[in-house]
Amino acid sequence: MPLRDNTADHAATDRTFQVDLRGLVDLLSHHLYSSPRVYLRELMQNAVDALTARHAIESHGAFGIRLYADGSVVRVEDDGVGLTEADVHTFLATIGRSSKRAEGIAEQRADFIGQFGIGLLSCFLVADEIHVLSRSARTPDAPAVEWRGRGDGSYTVRTLPASARPRPGTTVTLTPRADAEEWTRPAQVHALARHFGSLLRHPVTFDDGTGGPGAPVNPEPAPWTGTYPTPGARSRALAAYGEEVFGFKPLDTIELDLPAVGLKGIACVLPEAVPAGRRHGHRVHVKGMLLSEQAEEILPEWAFFVRCVVDAESLRPTASRESLYEDDTLAAVRDALAERLRDWIARAAASDPDLLGRFLQAHHLAVKSLAVHDDEILRMLLPWLPFETTDGHCTLDEFARTHRTVLVTSSVEEFRQVAAIASAAGLGVVNGGYTYDRELVHRLPEIRPEATVADLDPATLTAHLDPVDRETELAAAAYLAQARDALAVFDCDVALRTFQPVSAPALLIDSREARHERTRSQLAREQEGGLWGDILGALRQEAPRAQLILNQLNPLVRTAVAIDEPELARTSVEALYGQAAMLSRRPLRPAESSLINRSFLDLLAHALRKDS
């Protein structure tokens, strides 16, 4: 029997999604917008876009935005393009549809701030009802339209006589909930309006209901749009604006201008150092409306020595309009702004050494991180960068004039060990233990071909220490044998040399790599016969032992090598080792800390017995 086709019995039925408006508002408040305060930004943004649309059809006219808040209502009124009854049904009652899609405006969408059609819903973050009264400028004889939307998803629409709104435009009125008072008080509304709209190109005023004249929200245009009598006056105005916005007096201001994307603004150079890698947020306005105060993505990571405030035409905001959409345009803007910062550094290096010096004093680490990856910055600034050397803190250019061969340590610890001895021996050593320093010092010959750079190793240093005469060494042989035996537990050899300064009794030469190898070898011996021991044994390399070099020129050492009492000789060499280890400023191992305590107490006991 053939199977029956049941297709006709189960025909598909088209249905529409049911939207839970309260759930959607909760989603917006907790996941899209960072704070309920954005409701005012969204209302102002819609007003600005309405004005932009009206200018497209009516280029002449004094159009603006008026805000009102008296504690019981918040009202935003604009002289924009307005809405017809059909527009209200189409755009205000359909979630996600933007009025910027209206006929005759679609081709001008790039002129608008908002692009997503959900901004009005943000008002439900602070109110349960939104009242909109609008009259269209496209249809002069059209009636006024009233729309009331409620948080439960219902709305009403009715037409009113034209006298209900004599002029075209839109008025949005909110009656705040009690729990939204924090964001709807008159003073707060005024502060939020200034915060978001200080750079808007249309006039915005605020009225607190006390009967006085409306206070201007954006009385001054962006400082970079103004004309000034002199370059100095312009520079001072930009610096004053940067100080007002960021709360610090900039070391300098860098004017930013990218005509291709309509971006203008300033970068303020921080007057003090910041931790490497710490990125500051930047203030980004889009068409005058503040988008974000924490837009890290506008500059590359290495530019953490500046904070920017910019206004752009062509950058795309995300749906929340609180950050920038990562696309090719943003990447190109980031690269172009980075080039502006490089140009500023180059100008300072070429024409303002005092400014460059103050900048490098505060931000040398940031510049070093940039120079590692940027050959142009390397060539410009490496001679100017400060380094810790055996001649003190100085630039590599100064140091290379005195020392044709520049030696560089691999760690701060190694530099601390050898600095005094190397300086007395006439060796030029640079501390390469800080971030980027060793790599940059090795690139010095690219800037000064006559300079030679080499890593400092124990053999290089010991080669500059003078040997003692044969008779002195023979006389100290017994002491040196006891010293080697006492320090065998630390894999440390002992030698007698003469070196400056005389005040240094001993020098401990011990690289980090050698210590690591000795630790690995010790673990291998302890784990001998097991899998872990075999692995460590396979990794073992021949590494030089540590060296305790005693200074024959030091009076204390000359006295010590003549000691004929075995226990006292052992205690003295342990004390010399402990003192040299502490001077190296490296972390002490538990056995070394114990040795230092024991040798001190033994020497104190010996001195007390001798006195008694």
3-class secondary structure for 121-136?
A: HHHHHCEEEEEEEEEC
Is residue 151 within 8 A of residue 83, CB to CB? The reply is no
**Which residues, 6+ apart, have CB-to-CB distance to 273 below 8 Å?**
362, 363, 365
**pLDDT tens digits, one per residue of 148-158:** 988 777 889 99
**pLDDT tens digits, one per residue of 169-202:** 999 999 999 999 999 999 999 999 999 999 999 9
Residue 365 counted as domain residue = no
Residue 531 counted as domain residue = no
Residue 363 counted as domain residue = no
Q: What is the pLDDT of residue 69?
A: 95
Banded pLDDT at 15 (limits 50, 70, 90): low
In whole angstroms, give the CA distance from residue 602 to residue 360. Answer: 51
**pLDDT at 74 exceeding the cut of 70:** yes
Banded pLDDT at 376 (limits 50, 70, 90): confident
**pLDDT at 12 exceeding the cut of 50:** yes
In whole angstroms, give the CA distance from residue 494 to residue 505. Answer: 13
**Domain of 601: which CATH number?**
1.20.120.790
More confident call, 585 vs 559 = 559
Q: What is the side-by-side strand order in the sheet with 392-395?
A: 392-395, 386-389, 429-430, 405-408, 452-455
Structure tokens, 303: 């530019």
Residues 547 and 492 in one domain: yes
Residue 165 counted as domain residue = yes
Residues 342 and 389 in one domain: no
**pLDDT tens digits, one per residue of 225-263:** 989 999 999 999 999 999 999 999 999 999 999 999 999
Q: Where are the beta strands (DSSP E) in 118-252?
A: 127-135, 144-150, 155-160, 169-176, 204-207, 215-216
**Which residues, 6+ apart, have CB-to-CB distance to 228 below 8 Å?**
234, 237
The residue to which tokens 């007390």 are assigned? 608
Average pLDDT, the chain: 83
* H or E segment and range at residue 405: strand 405-408
Which of 227, 231, 295, 286 lies closest to 267 in space, CA to CA? 295
Residues 242 and 332 in one domain: yes
Where b means 16+ CB within 10 Å and e means fewer, 578-607 reads bbbbebbebeeeeebeebbeebeebeeeee
Residues 415 and 490 in one domain: no
Candidate from 12-21, 83-92, 237-246 with smallest mean pLDDT:
12-21
**pLDDT at 476 exceeding the cut of 80:** yes
Q: How many residues does the chain have?
A: 612
Residues 446 and 349 in one domain: no
Residues 436 and 550 in one domain: no
311-330 mean pLDDT? 81
- For residue 253, the SS3 value is strand
Residues 446 and 469 in one domain: no
Residue 250 counted as domain residue = yes
In whole angstroms, give the CA distance from residue 47 to residue 81. Answer: 9
In whole angstroms, give the CA distance from residue 31 to residue 40. Answer: 18
Residues 130 and 201 in one domain: yes
Structure tokens, 510: 């011990």
In whole angstroms, give the CA distance from residue 318 to residue 291. Answer: 10
- As to burial, measured by CB atoms within 10 angstroms (0-12 exposed, 13-18 middle, 19+ buried), residue 240 is middle
Beta bridge partners of 509: 547
Is residue 134 within 8 A of residue 88, CB to CB? The reply is yes
- For residue 207, the SS3 value is strand
**Domain of 76: which CATH number?**
3.30.565.10
Task: Please state the domain count of the chain.
Answer: 4
Q: What is the pLDDT of residue 536?
A: 41
Q: Which residues are annotated as a binding site for ATP?
A: 42, 46, 78, 170
In whole angstroms, give the CA distance from residue 289 to residue 414. Answer: 54
**pLDDT at 111 exceeding the cut of 50:** no
- As to burial, measured by CB atoms within 10 angstroms (0-12 exposed, 13-18 middle, 19+ buried), residue 369 is buried
Candidate from 95-104, 207-216, 490-499 with smallest mean pLDDT:
95-104
**pLDDT at 103 exceeding the cut of 60:** no
Q: Which residues are annotated as a binding site?
A: 42, 46, 78, 170
**Domain of 299: which CATH number?**
3.30.230.80
38-63 mean pLDDT? 88
Q: What is the pLDDT of residue 99?
A: 46
**Domain of 411: which CATH number?**
3.40.50
Domain end call among 462, 493, 513: 462
For the packed helices 566-583 and 477-486, what is the interaxial angle rounded to 10 degrees? 60
Banded pLDDT at 267 (limits 50, 70, 90): very high
Residue 380 counted as domain residue = no
Which of 456, 453, 454 lies closest to 418 in space, CA to CA? 456
Residues 601 and 490 in one domain: yes
Q: What percentage of the chain carries pLDDT values higher than 90?
A: 39
Domain residue limits at 499: 465-526+542-609
196-218 mean pLDDT? 90
Residues 447 and 503 in one domain: no
**Intra-chain end-to-end CA distance of the chain, in Å:** 124
In whole angstroms, give the CA distance from residue 591 to residue 38. Answer: 62
**pLDDT tens digits, one per residue of 526-552:** 555 554 445 444 444 455 678 888 999
More confident call, 140 vs 263 = 263
In whole angstroms, give the CA distance from residue 170 to residue 134. Answer: 4
Residue 222 counted as domain residue = no
Residue 506 counted as domain residue = yes
**pLDDT tens digits, one per residue of 442-467:** 999 988 889 899 988 766 777 778 88
Q: Where are the beta strands (DSSP E) in 185-282?
A: 204-207, 215-216, 253-258, 263-269
Residues 253 and 188 in one domain: no
More confident call, 509 vs 230 = 230
Residues 458 and 511 in one domain: no
